[in-house]
Structures are given as C-alpha cells and as structure tokens.
Structure 1
Amino acid sequence: MTDLNKAEPAQAGTPKPLLDIRDLQVAFRSQGRDVTAVQGASLTVYPGQTVAIVGESGSGKSTTAAAVLGLLPGNGRVTGGEIWFDGQDLATASSRQFENVRGSGIGLVPQDPMSNLNPLWRVGFQIKETLEANGAANGGEARARAIELLREAGMADAERRVNQYPHEYSGGMRQRALIAIGLACRPKLLIADEPTSALDVTVQRQILDHLESLTGELGTAVLLITHDLGLAAERASHLVVMYKGQIVESGPALEILQDPRHEYTKRLVNAAPSLASRRLGSPEADLEVKVAADSTVAQELQDVGSDGARNVIVARNLVKDFKIRGRVPFRSTAFRAVDDVSFALRRGTTTAIVGESGSGKSTVARMLLGLERPTSGSVEFDGAAVTGMNSAQEKEFRRRVQPIFQNPYGSLDPMYSVFRLIAEPLKIHNIGDSASRTQRVRELLDLVALPRNTMERFPSELSGGQRQRVAIARALALNPEVVVCDEAVSALDVLVQAQILNLLSALQQEFGLSYVFITHDLAVVRQIADDVLVMKKGQVVDAGPTDDIFTTPTSDYTRNLLESIPGGSIDFARS
C-alpha cells in the first residue's frame, strides 16, 4: 500500500509544490486493448497559484483532472507516473484514501451541472450534505452556510432559491450551485473544469473574483480547465496547453498567448473570438458548405429566402409567469421571467439575445419554439400564430424551426446511438429511405467535423464538445429555415467553436437560414449577429444593430457586460 504520509523532498530554497504531476500516463480499456488518453504529462501547482489547462475537446485536460481526483471511469486507470498532492502520492491511492482527500483537500467544480446535481433533492440539501459529510457544519448552521455559499456564488435571492430543485434553476444557476458545493469546505486545491462556461460575463467575473480572493486569503490553489483563452490569460499566472494527450507548451500565461511558439497554440489563439472580430460571412471569408445540392428542402429555402425584408418570426409583448416554490408546503409565489418582450427576426439574418442567467432569454427561446405557452403576448412564424396549431401544423412547424439546446448532456438520449440520434428527425418526417438517411448522417458528421465512425458510438462515449456537435448535426438534418441556438457553442473549444460559427454563417448565406442566437459570449455575438437584444430581469434594456450595441450602448447594463468580458483588453498574437 502506498504511504500517503510520505512527503517527496523539495530542493533547498525552492517553494514546495501543492500538486506535482510527473510523467502521468492514463489509458482507457476499449475493445480489449488500452487506448492512451494522457501521455507523459507533467505540471506543478504551488499554494495560492492559479494554473490553467487549455486545449480542444479530447485533448486530455479533463482526464488529467479526473486522475488527480481518483474519478476516472471504470475503464480508465493511471498506467504510469506520479501525482503528488500536499506531499502525498495519489497515483496508487485507494478509494478510502481518496475520500479523505476530496472535499477539504481537493474540491471540484465539474463541467456539467445537470448530471452532477441530484434532481430529487433540493439544492440546499445537497450543499448541506457536502458540509455535513466533511464535518464543516451541521443542522441549522449547515443550512445558513448553504445560503451564504449560494450568495457568494452569485445567486440572487439565495434564501428562497436554497429550497428549490435543480429543474427549477436555469443552466447558469445550476452551475453556481456546483460552485457553491465545490467551495463549501474551503479546499487547498480547487479543480475547476469549465466552471463558468454556462455563466454570463458579469456573474463569471463575480465567481472568478471570488476564486481569486480565496487564493489570496486562504492560500487556495486553482487548477482551471477552460477553452476560454481570454479567461485563462486574465485569471491564470501559468498556462498549460494540451493536445492529443500531451503537453505541447507550458509557461507564463500572457507570454504564451502573446507569443505562442507551438503551431497548435498559434491555432488556438487565431481561432479565439474577440470584440474586434469582423462579422462572419464577409466576402473575404473562405467558407465551405457541404450540403446536398439536390435537397428539395434546400431549394425551398433558397426560394423563400430571396425576400430578405420579410420577418420570419415576430414576437409581440411576450410575458411569461412561473410559480416559485416557497418554504411553506403547497404555497408558491408568482415570478415574472419575461416581461413585455417584442422583436422581429428578419429572414436570412441572425438576432442574438444576451443577458445574465435568469434574465429570461432562454424562456423567450422556448416560447419561440412553442415549448412554453406565453402568459400573454404572441409569437408568429411566417405570419401564422405558433400557439394553437393543430398536430399537422405543429409537425410542419417542427420541421421548419429547429432547436440546438444549451446542455448536450441532457438533450441527447443516452440509449440512442449517434446514428439514431441524427437520423431520427428524418425518420419522423418520412424523409428518404434507409440508405439515403445513412448518407445524410455521414454528410452531417462531416459538417460538424466528427469522424464517420462516430455514428456507431453512444453519447456516454463522447466528450461534451463532441456531444454538442452531434446536437448541431441533428438540428441541421432537416435543413430548417430557422434555428434557435440556446448557448449552442458554449460547450465547445475555440477551434471547433470557430468551425461551427463559420458553418452556421455559410449555411445562412447559401440557403437564407435565420438564427435566434442565445448566448452570454459577447465576442461570439460580434461575429455572428446582425441584431442584438440585451435582456435584464425579463425586460429588453438595449436593442439594435450589432455594431451600434457594441460601439454606442445606451444602457449602463450593456456597458457593464462589455467591460466584464474576460481578456477583453488583452492583445493576443494574431497571425
């Protein structure tokens, strides 16, 4: 048995690392053989230091973090190297020994809030459970501490929200709950795996400011896993770049991002969106679209897309009220999520809706899709009311308007193969035969840069970014006229994000597609949107052409959003 109390000696006169990973090797057992996921990775984190690991999906960055925590899946194992944490070697630690380290030693903020919160338990109970399991607080003290932790994580009205279930939270609110759990026991090292990817920039800044205060006051170190280069440059002192399981570049964060040496790092920097980016689809953009030229639906889209002045979707005075559960059983209060929102989506253009988590932007998207009935107001698609359609009209509406949801973990049926997920819309709408559907799935996988053999795999075998690409391929299967993208690229690394944004822009130019783009990433908005709505607490506080919103915002709230963008003032190297 490994002696976890045996400290590795440090060189005289040098600080002792809190985490020291040496030549780490991780492999997964697949079809009777080992597949290497991490190869020869070495990195060091000192007390109070923030180190960021960046790289595309499948690069090994989350696998490295899972190895440190002893949370590799059943078919994964450390096959070589050492993982020294606080003087203890965790590479061969037992399950019981890891239990003693997790929580107060190493905290975790995982990437996916839907999979990591128990849907049957109130959020406050789940935070209390963490506190009680680690002996940090009990009973009423634990509940009071849970409220305090939610408030620290940026949760408005924490006293009421602590009694709610995860399904009553927005995606960003769920992520904040996970952050509260990760910080509950004040760990020495916090591993944050895309901790703010679901959060708007203002709350993101609040969370990251809080992490920095922990680093300064408590000596807490942070291992930050992210695909946001601006965030890494602004928040980390040291940057590690991973590619295909290996560390290809490591050093001071600003130095690497302003003067990258490795070709892969240069590609990452060039692909990162910025506020100075031009609108995609400009004549000089080199884009390629791989869509079946003989598609009947595509021809229909070309025909109706010729009149660019028409409004394909019109929302008038939308209001949506929800019931919020209170502490008293069987009693609830009304909560207005959307308050008098009106706008028009011009055919062949993109309208972005931005705002903080809980601002009502995703609720607006669900009403546009006919998934939520407005309390008052109306939504019209192509001149017809969305509410009150009969079954035939609704089926036709579903063919012409497709969603890409925020959470790729929750929006893909885990029992379906990738082929079945993408082919299902074609089968439901009786499009093609088995052979043509198979060919269409292959084309769509090519479009979203997934290998064709991915069609035989299941969602559990894919990374978060790969799952989102499958969701995008499924949405494009029917060649819809309108696509409602609810944080469609927030889970993707910058290289795939750039590819998907270029793809969406190219499809729009070729077939007159119209997009409603829900996002908290204003740099992406600058690239993709023609018009912008800025929402705050259910209301529109700013609206207009994208360039006007970015150059002359009319509200203080919009100005605050722009100022909060991570790395917005950093001048990255661009080739």
Structure 2
Amino acid sequence: MTPEDVPLPMTEPTTPLAEARGLAIRLPGGPVLLPPTDLTLAPGTVTALTGPSGSGKTTLLRALAGALPPRAEVAAGTLTVLGHDVLRLPAAELRALRRHRIAHVGQDPASALNPRMRVRRIVTELAGTADAGTAARLLAECRLDPRDGLLERRPGALSGGQQRRVALARALARAPEVLLLDEPTAGLDHRLRDEIADLLRELATARHIGVLLTCHDPGLVDRCADHAVALTSPHHPAPRAATPEPAAPAIRAATAPSSTAPRSGGLTARGLRVTFDRRRTGRPALADVDFTAPAGTTTALIGASGSGKTTLLRVLAGLRRPDGGTLTLAGAPLPTVNRKRTGEQRRGIQLVPQNPLGCLNPARTVGAIVARPLTLHRTVPAAAVPGRVARLLEDVGLSADHAHRRPAELSGGQRQRVALARALAPGPEVLLCDEITSALDPDTAHSVMRLLARIQAAHGLTVVLVSHELHLVAAYADTVHLLDGGRVTHHGPTADVLDAALPGRR
C-alpha cells in the first residue's frame, strides 16, 4: 500500500539529499517490511515518518543508512542518498559515507553507547578532538547541562532520556548532511519534547541539513516537520481481546483500590538512596525515597526526564544496588540485589525496559526469547511451550509468524511488545514497565494497557508504570508518585496528584 505524503509548510525546491521511489523491502519468502514508498528529503527541511508500529518506519530509516535488516532485500523501487545507491555501495565507500555525511540515531540509543566510556569521550570520539569544551557545547545544544558532572558519567548512570540526547550530541559531532532519528523524543517529557523539536528545526535551518525522523507523536510533527509521510501496514494486528472491553476509565475504576481500605501486600520501598559519581559531584539520583505499589493495582511514576524514575525501577528490579534503604514484597523482606533473591522472587518481579534491543539476544529467534522464561521457571510443561509462546505473542499484538524472526528484523515497537510478552511469560505478580508505550502508536498503546488491565483484573497483577504519557496515566493508573530531582514530591490517588501537582498537564 502506498503511503500518503502529507504536505506541511512549503519549502523551496532544491536538489534532494535522499530520494526513494516505490521502494519496497521484504524478507525472502516472508513478510513485507516496507510497502512501496515514495520519499524526498531536501536540505534545510525536517521530514517525519508516521504510522503504526510495524509499518516500516525503522526499516526505511535503516535503508537510508545503507543497513537493511538481516536477510531483507529490496523487492521493488529505487533509493538514492547523497547521489549514491547506498544499498549497493562497496563496503569502504559506505563506511566513509556513514562516518562523514550520514548520522543515524536508533530507537535504542543505549545500545550504541559504549558502557565503559565516559560521556565526554562518547560525544567527541567522532569529532576528531577530545576537547571537553566541544563536548560541553554539543551537550548544551542537546539540552543537557554539562556542569552537572555529566561529562564524567558513563551511560549506565544516565536516564533513558539523557542517553537519547547524548546519542544525538554524538551524531551532531560529525556535522552530517543527513540526520536520521528513530523516535528521538521517546521517553522524554513534553517540555523536553518541545525543546528537541525546536532544536531539530534549528539544526535543519542553520546547518542546511536534511532531518528525517520517525515518531508517533503528532505534537512533535506539528512543531518541527516540513513534511510528513504516513506509512500504513496491511498486517498490523492489535493485541487480542478475548472479551468486549470497557472504556479505559471504566477499567481503572473497576480495579482501583478503596482509599479507606488499601489492599495488603504489594511492593514497598523505604528510604532508598542512590548517588552517582560519589567521588566527584555526589549528585543524588534517589534521595530517601519511599514508595508503595499496593497489590493488584497500577502505580505510575511520573516526572521530568532525569528525575530518577528509571533508577527507582531498576532498584525495585534488583538491577541497581541502592546506597541505602529497604524493599518489601508481600510483607516479606526483599533483597535489593537480584542475585540474592530466590527463584520465586525473581519469577514474581519482571521488568520491561525502555530500550528492549539491548536485552533481547540478537542470535535467538523471538520464539526462543519468549520461551526461555517458561522453561527457566518451569511454568508450563515442555510440550505446551510452543502454544504458550504463540498465545503470548498474540496477546501483545504480534502474529505467531513473528516467532521465527530475530530482534534485528523487527521494528522498535515490535521489539517492545516482544519484551512485554517475555516479561508476562512466567506469570509474574509484579510487572515493572519503563515507558513501554513510548514506541507504540496510540491505538496499540491503549491496547497494551487494556491487556495489562485484563491480566490485573483476572490475576491481581501489580503494575508499576513509568510514563510521560499523562493521558495513559490518568486512564489506567490507580495511584501516582511524582519525582523531582530524585525525591518523591507528591503521591496519592491519580486524579488528586495530577490535579494538584500538574494542573496544566497536556
């Protein structure tokens, strides 16, 4: 199906930096990854690729960088970037083009940031200089404060939003002519989204470069894009609904706990403290945080990017040792380090990370990835594993055929749903979700949240949800904790916190 080119404010005609005509990409004998698509990218403009998860946005972006998914092939059409057929360039010429003229920032920026490097070296590695001033200038351009000890931190000490902006600063260091960005504002709050949108607009104009981005956020498109190309997918299943679903607010009301009689059990934290770079800045990521997620409810963590939400989630998952504080699960002490937890405790608490690519084994098929926790925790007989895998994929809106594909052959939204299916596989009591809907289109995001609400209603699942999408928080969360600078400043019933702390929310 040919996508619709939606014109926004007009730009002067000029020689295209990139051009696709009827470009179609598919796996041999398998699914179509990109339907026939037309695209023109001109200097000084911003073009947005929109459409549902799995419609081919990430595939097209990778094709422009000369990097098709494994086994993928061009089924029809042509693609030219900076005067070259990038999909047929010799390896040495393609490397030179990527190094000097094309920059690509993927949907999972953490996977491209060397975890052993400090931010200063990460940013300047491609700039040909190790000058701290250059790194500070690029970070500031991407709305990061280099005075906050950021230059000396490693990626693991950054929030997801900070990692995304460091990756953008690294891309800008090479002064590219074509800048390719996959969901550049996923996981960022609305204020930062608007700042990054304005930055992209300024970059395109001031540097006279072509910016191509993928996104599900109409606010970002309206704010910075000159043109939008809407991709559609003929094979886009929605998460399965076994029974008719009520509207979102009705689901929340049906599962909300009584404010006068809170349920027992659940997950609690008391006095959590985490400090990054203790020998340098001593900046607290969490400062004496108390947290409660009552059993069978959805508790949301909200706040600006870098406020400590992901750090708190990693502490709850046992992946980040706190400097102080305690955890309790269902009234019993819970070790703060995952390896000290019992097998039942590890099964009972599952994490869906913000950036799933780094936690999905690239050598394994989707079916093997989802099946692993089933066999590890022995939750179903071996003979029933394939059927259970197919059902889990169907639950999150993926067909059974996806079981034979590998993570690199999936879109960012599809990878996010695989990570969710894997986390649900062992039947956890607590599900920790870090921006699980940020890479999904609005319809799929609501479908995923309705899925969690159904599981919650049927099995008493406790959900802890990190999100900047306040409309989803308002619809599905029972209680909210608002973090600011590593501290919980407000907590309580969702409507009360949102109305009191964020009266101008969008």
Question: Shorter chain as normaliser: what TM range?
Answer: 0.7 to 0.9
What is the deviation of 1:500?
0.8
Q: Aligned in 2, Cα 1:433/1:284: closer, same or farther, shift over 3 Å?
A: closer
Instruction: Report the AA paired with residue 49 of structure 1.
Output: T
Secondary structure in structure 2 of the residue aligned to 1:474: helix
Once the two structures are overlaid, the 10-residue window that deviates more, 511-520 or 236-245, is: 236-245
- Give the alignment partner of residue 396 of structure 1, picking from 328, 341, 344: 344
Q: Deviations over 1:260-311 (max 9, x none)?
A: xxxx9xx9xxxxxxxxx953616899xxxxxxxxxxxxxxxxxxxxx86335
Secondary structure in structure 2 of the residue aligned to 1:239: strand
Q: Deviations over 1:317-354 (max 9, x none)?
A: 22223445xxxxxx655332111222322222211011
Map of 1:58 onto structure 2: 54
Instruction: Report the AA paired with residue 155 of structure 1.
Output: L
- Give the alignment partner of residue 446 of structure 2, picking from 463, 480, 498: 498
Write the distance in 2 (CA, Å) between the matches of 1:29 and 1:393: 42
- Give the alignment partner of residue 64 of structure 2, picking from 68, 93, 112: 68
Map of 1:410 onto structure 2: 358
Map of 1:242 onto structure 2: 231
1:81–1:91 CA contact under 8 A, matched in 2: no
Map of 2:158 onto structure 1: 169
Map of 1:472 onto structure 2: 420
Write the distance in 2 (CA, Å) between the matches of 1:216 and 1:322: 37
Map of 1:152 onto structure 2: 141
Q: Deviations over 1:438-458 (max 9, x none)?
A: 332222122112222333333
Secondary structure in structure 2 of the residue aligned to 1:410: helix
Map of 1:309 onto structure 2: 263
What is the deviation of 1:539?
0.7
Q: Aligned in 2, Cα 1:384/1:239: closer, same or farther, shift over 3 Å?
A: same
Q: Aligned in 2, Cα 1:81/1:172: closer, same or farther, shift over 3 Å?
A: same
What is the deviation of 1:234?
3.1
In the alignment, structure 1 residue 321 sits paired with structure 2 residue 275: yes
Map of 1:437 onto structure 2: 385
- Give the alignment partner of residue 118 of structure 1, picking from 114, 117, 126: 114
1:38–1:245 CA contact under 8 A, matched in 2: no
Instruction: Report the AA paired with residue 168 of structure 1.
Output: A
In the alignment, structure 1 residue 363 sits paired with structure 2 residue 311: yes
1:170–1:358 CA contact under 8 A, matched in 2: yes
Map of 2:249 onto structure 1: 279
User: In terms of Rg, which structure is larger?
Assistant: 1
Instruction: Report the AA paired with residue 201 of structure 1.
Output: H
Map of 1:23 onto structure 2: 21
What is the deviation of 1:86?
5.9
In the alignment, structure 1 residue 45 sits paired with structure 2 residue 45: no
Q: Aligned in 2, Cα 1:221/1:413: closer, same or farther, shift over 3 Å?
A: closer
1:82–1:91 CA contact under 8 A, matched in 2: no
Runs of at least 5 residues in structure 2 that lack an aligned partner in the other structure: 1-10, 239-246, 256-260
Write the distance in 1 (CA, Å) between the matches of 2:182 and 2:338: 44
- Give the alignment partner of residue 192 of structure 1, picking from 174, 181, 186: 181
Once the two structures are overlaid, the 10-residue window that deviates more, 468-477 or 422-431, is: 422-431
1:23–1:81 CA contact under 8 A, matched in 2: yes
Q: Aligned in 2, Cα 1:76/1:507: closer, same or farther, shift over 3 Å?
A: closer
Q: Aligned in 2, Cα 1:109/1:367: closer, same or farther, shift over 3 Å?
A: closer
Once the two structures are overlaid, the 10-residue window that deviates more, 166-175 or 501-510, is: 166-175
In the superposition, the TM-score normalised over structure 2's length comes to 0.84
Write the distance in 2 (CA, Å) between the matches of 1:506 and 1:157: 44
Q: Aligned in 2, Cα 1:45/1:401: closer, same or farther, shift over 3 Å?
A: same
Write the distance in 2 (CA, Å) between the matches of 1:388 and 1:168: 18
- Give the alignment partner of residue 514 of structure 1, picking from 462, 465, 471: 462
What is the deviation of 1:89?
6.3
What is the deviation of 1:148?
1.0
Q: Deviations over 1:423-444 (max 9, x none)?
A: 3333333333212333322221
In the alignment, structure 1 residue 219 sits paired with structure 2 residue 208: yes
Write the distance in 2 (CA, Å) between the matches of 1:67 and 1:524: 33
In the superposition, the TM-score normalised over structure 1's length comes to 0.75
Q: Aligned in 2, Cα 1:525/1:177: closer, same or farther, shift over 3 Å?
A: same
Q: Aligned in 2, Cα 1:196/1:15: closer, same or farther, shift over 3 Å?
A: same
Q: Aligned in 2, Cα 1:139/1:181: closer, same or farther, shift over 3 Å?
A: closer
1:362–1:486 CA contact under 8 A, matched in 2: yes
In the alignment, structure 1 residue 528 sits paired with structure 2 residue 476: yes
What is the deviation of 1:409?
0.9
What is the deviation of 1:389?
9.8
What is the deviation of 1:221?
3.2
1:26–1:76 CA contact under 8 A, matched in 2: no
Secondary structure in structure 2 of the residue aligned to 1:478: coil
Write the distance in 2 (CA, Å) between the matches of 1:389 and 1:217: 48
Write the distance in 1 (CA, Å) between the matches of 2:157 and 2:363: 25
Q: Aligned in 2, Cα 1:395/1:83: closer, same or farther, shift over 3 Å?
A: closer
Secondary structure in structure 1 of the residue aligned to 2:165: helix
Once the two structures are overlaid, the 10-residue window that deviates more, 214-223 or 444-453, is: 214-223
Aligned length: 482
Q: Aligned in 2, Cα 1:535/1:70: closer, same or farther, shift over 3 Å?
A: same
- Give the alignment partner of residue 228 of structure 1, picking from 213, 217, 232: 217
Instruction: Report the AA paired with residue 223 of structure 1.
Output: L
Map of 2:409 onto structure 1: 461
What is the deviation of 1:219?
3.1
The sequence identity of aligned pairs, in percent, is 35
* 1:65-104 → structure 2 map (5 Å cutoff): 65-73=61-69, 75-78=71-74, 80-85=76-81, 93-99=89-95, 101-102=97-98
Write the distance in 1 (CA, Å) between the matches of 2:140 and 2:404: 44
1:27–1:35 CA contact under 8 A, matched in 2: no
Secondary structure in structure 2 of the residue aligned to 1:243: coil
Q: Aligned in 2, Cα 1:431/1:392: closer, same or farther, shift over 3 Å?
A: farther
Q: Aligned in 2, Cα 1:47/1:520: closer, same or farther, shift over 3 Å?
A: same
In the alignment, structure 1 residue 182 sits paired with structure 2 residue 171: yes
Once the two structures are overlaid, the 10-residue window that deviates more, 499-508 or 167-176, is: 167-176
2:252–2:478 CA contact under 8 A, matched in 1: no
What is the deviation of 1:538?
0.5
1:27–1:34 CA contact under 8 A, matched in 2: no
Write the distance in 1 (CA, Å) between the matches of 2:219 and 2:489: 26
